[in-house]
């Protein structure tokens, strides 16, 4: 008897869930049809303040985020930001798990082969951070020293260029904050990373460190990336970027994060 | 068939993979050796007990309880967290050129620069292995019939002599399989230390993947290396077990 009751309860609930599902699906489909563009998933490595970081309530904030949100508003893009570790970031774009990447990504030829970039939205340059007491004064003096970088970043490339790709004087970390932490612990002699992040770090640790800019470092530009060949989306992003630059939105966001130019 | 597999990436990063392999093996060796010594002490500490007399409370409070707390803490927290805790908090507190509690000045500078990540990595793995090995020792020791202990003691052997000559030799045969398991676990877990910038196998793969944004080649390659070593290790443990069974 008990078994019979159980079976009937189970079958009823199964049936109920089935009918529920069939009811829901068409409404979802029409909803998707209604809004011409579905939600786009934006990948960003939210451990890179002030460009992108995560607040205690799990929302992603930062310069990049506000810029892309403003672009999205101008171009009518529905965006959802998802914190995505840097290491797998490019892979996720290729596999279609992310539609857009914004994560202080430097535009370079190697990356252009696997993704399409928007117009540049930020000018960056590499900076070297050393302890206040350090005698290092320029990039070439880092030969024979330990350099901390974030794996796969421009800082990594620059350090690899000086010391060789497989040199054990380069210490690679999953994030720039960890590399900087290693500098605080004196595990490395210097850290090379983008100016935006370094300036943010310096604002909080001025008394212990100094930065060195080296004229041999090339200027770089950050771009917003989409999957190779997605010209429609990149066009919308570029239009939005031009619009927020024209109406002053860009400048006000820039001023909020980096002060006056 | 394997045309998609870009061997040139492995070739280019070969020095890093080789160095990574050395570091991985060395880390595991240190972890197993130091872990076994510390584990034995901790395991004995966890079951140390004096039933009567003036030593009863000092032994409980100073040996038994700290051992238990240590083992519980290590086994109850992730190794990854322990590695970060040791490298970015504990070690800088002890070894720092400016204000290290244990070592400071030039020596600290040298140690941190040249071997900082290795020291932290080896320390974290050893301390972690010690807690698990302590449990293996405890279980092994407790699996020996209590009559053996009582017989040895009534023959006039001291506590340590009993442990050394009667209990631990009998327990160690039973401890071989779990110890072998622990060594294999340690080898695999050593990949976690790449987070602190220590150039072991996983670090080499991460670096190669980071440059080329290609994941199959480096990670598949190191998977096979890990697999080869773990197979060799389990074969070795198996041989040891057979050897002990025959004697």
Please give the Cα distance from A191 to A198 (Å, whole number). 9
What is the distance between the alpha carbons of residues A91 and A84, in angstroms, rounded to a whole number? 11
* Domains assigned to chain A: 38-123+222-258 (3.40.190.10), 126-212 (3.40.190.10)
For chain B, how big is the Rg over CA atoms in Å? Answer: 22
Q: Which residue of B lies nearest to A185 if distances are taken between CA atoms? A: B92
Provide the shortest C-alpha distance from residue B9 to chain A (in Å): 12
Out of B19, B210, B211, closest to residue A168 by CB? B19
Helices (H) and strands (E) in chain A, counts: 9, 15
Q: Is A157:A170 a contact under the CB 8 Å cutoff?
A: no
Contact B185, B32 (CB under 8 A): no
Look at B117 and A171 and tell me if their CB atoms are within 8 Å.
yes
Establish whether the linkage from the previous residue to A50 is cis, with ω within 30° of 0.
Answer: yes
- Looking at the complex, does the CB of residue A165 fall below 8 Å from at least one CB of chain B? yes
Q: Which residue is closest to B112 within chain A, CA to CA?
A: A187
Residues of B whose CB is below 8 A from A148: 197
Smallest Cβ–Cβ distance between B97 and the set A173, A174, A186 belongs to A186
**Chain A / chain B CB contacts < 8 angstroms:** 80
Q: Which two tokens stand for residue B140?
A: 């092994």
Taking the CA of residue B10 and the nearest CA in chain A, the distance in Å comes to: 12
Q: Looking at the complex, report in whole angstroms how far the Cα of residue B86 sits from the nearest Cα belonging to chain A.
A: 12
Residues of B in contact with A184 (CB under 8 A): 92
A177 touches chain B (CB under 8 A): no
What's the Cα-to-Cα distance from A149 to each of A89, A176, A260, B181, rounded to whole Å? 17, 7, 28, 35
Q: Which two tokens stand for residue A92?
A: 């996720």
A161-196 as b/e: b if 16+ CB within 10 A: ebbebbbebbbbbbbbbbbbbbbbbbbbbbbbbbbb
Interface residue of A166, A207, A209 to substitute, partner B, most B CBs within 10 Å: A166
Q: Please indicate whether, in this complex, the C-beta atoms of A91 and B206 are within 8 angstroms of each other.
A: no
- Taking an 8 Å cut-off on Cβ atoms, the answer to whether A186 and B112 are in contact is yes
Asked if B195's CB is within 8 angstroms of A174's CB, the reply is: yes
Helix residue ranges, H only, A164-230: 176-184, 195-205
Cβ of B46 under 8 Å from any chain A Cβ? no
Instruction: Name the residue among A188, A136, A89, B211 with its Cα closest to residue A179.
Output: A188
- Say what the pLDDT of residue B147 is: 93
Residues in B touching A182 (Cβ below 8 Å): 88, 116, 196-197
Please enumerate in sequence order all residues whose Cβ is within 8 A of that of B181, keeping only pairs 6 or more positions apart, or say none. none
Cβ(A65)–Cβ(A73) below 8 Å: no
Rounded Cα–Cα distance for residues A58 and A130 (Å): 32
Q: What does the DSSP assignment read for B90-132? A: IHHHHB-TTT-SSB-SHHHHHIIIIIHHHHHHHHHHHHHHHHH
Mean pLDDT by 10 residues, chain B (247 residues): 78 92 97 96 91 87 95 97 94 86 86 89 97 96 92 92 91 91 96 92 89 85 96 94 76
d(CA A153, CA A197): 13
Eight-state DSSP code of residue A107? P
Q: Which residues in chain A are closer than 8 Å to B116, comparing Cβ atoms?
A: 182, 185-187
CA distance B30 to B28: 5
Instruction: Determine contact: A173 vs chain B, CB below 8 A.
Output: yes
Helix (H, G, I), strand (E, B) or coil at B145: coil
- Rounded to a whole number, what is the distance in Å from the CA of A115 to chain B's nearest CA? 11
pLDDT at A10: 57
Among candidates B91, B92, B199 on the partner chain, residue whose Cβ is nearest the Cβ of A168: B199
Rounded Cα–Cα distance for residues B135 and B68 (Å):
10
A184: nearest CA in chain B? B92
B217–A contact, CB cutoff 8 A:
no
Using CA coordinates, name the residue in chain A closest to B90: A185
Where do runs of H (alpha helix) occur along B144-166?
Answer: 146-154, 159-162
* The pLDDT value given to residue B209: 83
pTM: 0.75
The whole-angstrom separation of Cα A190 and Cα A171 is: 10
**Ordered per-residue pLDDT tens for chain A, 261 residues:** 556 565 665 565 555 554 444 444 444 444 444 345 689 999 999 988 899 999 888 899 999 999 999 999 999 999 999 999 887 899 889 888 999 999 999 999 989 998 999 999 999 999 999 999 999 999 999 999 999 999 989 999 999 999 999 998 999 998 898 999 999 989 999 999 999 889 888 888 888 899 999 988 988 999 999 999 999 999 999 999 999 999 999 999 999 998 765
Cβ-proximal residues to B244 (8 Å cutoff; 6+ apart), any chain: B173, B176
Q: How far apart are the first and last CA of chain A?
A: 80
Beta-strand pair A220-222/A122-124:
antiparallel
What is the C-alpha separation between A9 and A170, in angstroms, rounded?
64
Separation CA A163–CA A166 (nearest Å): 8
Any B CB within 8 A of A186 CB: yes
Residue from B117, B197, B212 to probe the interface with A (highest A Cβ count within 10 Å): B197
Give the helix/strand (H/E) hosting B236: helix B216-246
């Amino acid at each position: 008897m008990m078994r019979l009751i159980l079976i009937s309860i189970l079958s009823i609930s199964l049936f109920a869930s089935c009918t529920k599902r069939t009811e829901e699906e068409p409404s979802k489909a029409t909803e998707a049809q209604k809004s011409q563009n579905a939600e786009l998933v934006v990948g960003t490595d939210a451990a890179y303040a002030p460009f992108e970081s995560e607040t205690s309530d799990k929302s992603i904030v930062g310069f990049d985020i506000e810029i892309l949100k403003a672009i999205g508003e101008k171009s009518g893009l529905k965006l959802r930001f998802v914190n995505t570790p840097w290491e797998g970031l490019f892979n996720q774009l290729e596999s279609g798990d992310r539609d857009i990447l914004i994560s202080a990504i430097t535009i370079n030829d190697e990356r252009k082969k696997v993704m399409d970039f928007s117009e540049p939205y930020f000018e960056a340059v590499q900076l070297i951070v050393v302890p206040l007491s350090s005698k290092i004064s320029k990039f070439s003096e880092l030969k024979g020293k330990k350099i901390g970088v974030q794996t796969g970043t421009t800082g990594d490339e620059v350090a690899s260029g000086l010391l060789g790709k497989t040199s054990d004087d380069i210490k690679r970390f999953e994030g720039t904050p960890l590399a900087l932490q290693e500098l605080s612990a004196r595990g490395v002699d210097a850290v090379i990373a983008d100016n935006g992040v370094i300036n943010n770090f310096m604002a909080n640790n001025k008394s212990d460190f100094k930065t060195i800019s080296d004229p041999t470092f090339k200027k770089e530009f950050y771009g917003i990336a989409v999957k190779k060949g997605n010209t429609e989306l990149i066009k919308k992003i570029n239009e939005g970027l031009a619009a927020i630059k024209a109406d002053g939105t860009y400048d006000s966001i820039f001023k909020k994060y980096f002060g006056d130019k | 068939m394997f045309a998609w597999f870009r061997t040139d990436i492995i070739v280019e990063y070969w020095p890093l993979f080789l160095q990574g392999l050395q570091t991985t093996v060395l880390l595991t060796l240190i972890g197993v050796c130091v872990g076994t010594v510390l584990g034995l002490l901790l395991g004995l500490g966890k079951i140390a007990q004096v039933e009567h007399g003036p030593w009863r409370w000092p032994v409980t409070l100073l040996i038994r309880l700290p051992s238990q707390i240590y083992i519980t803490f290590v086994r109850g927290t992730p190794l990854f967290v322990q590695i970060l805790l040791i490298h970015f908090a504990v070690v800088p507190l002890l070894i720092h050129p400016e204000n290290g509690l244990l070592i400071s000045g030039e020596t600290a500078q040298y140690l941190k620069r040249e071997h900082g990540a290795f020291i932290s990595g080896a320390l974290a793995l050893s301390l972690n292995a010690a807690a698990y090995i302590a449990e293996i020792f405890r279980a092994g020791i407790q699996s020996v019939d209590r009559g053996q202990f009582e017989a040895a003691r009534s023959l006039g052997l001291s506590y340590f002599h009993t442990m050394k000559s009667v209990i631990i030799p009998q327990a160690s045969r039973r401890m071989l399989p779990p110890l072998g398991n622990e060594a294999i676990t340690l080898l695999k877990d050593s990949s976690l230390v790449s987070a602190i910038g220590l150039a072991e196998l996983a670090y080499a793969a991460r670096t190669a993947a980071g440059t080329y944004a290609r994941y199959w080649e480096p990670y598949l390659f190191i998977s096979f290396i890990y697999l080869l070593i773990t197979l060799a290790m389990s074969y070795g443990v198996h041989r040891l077990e057979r050897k002990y069974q025959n004697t």
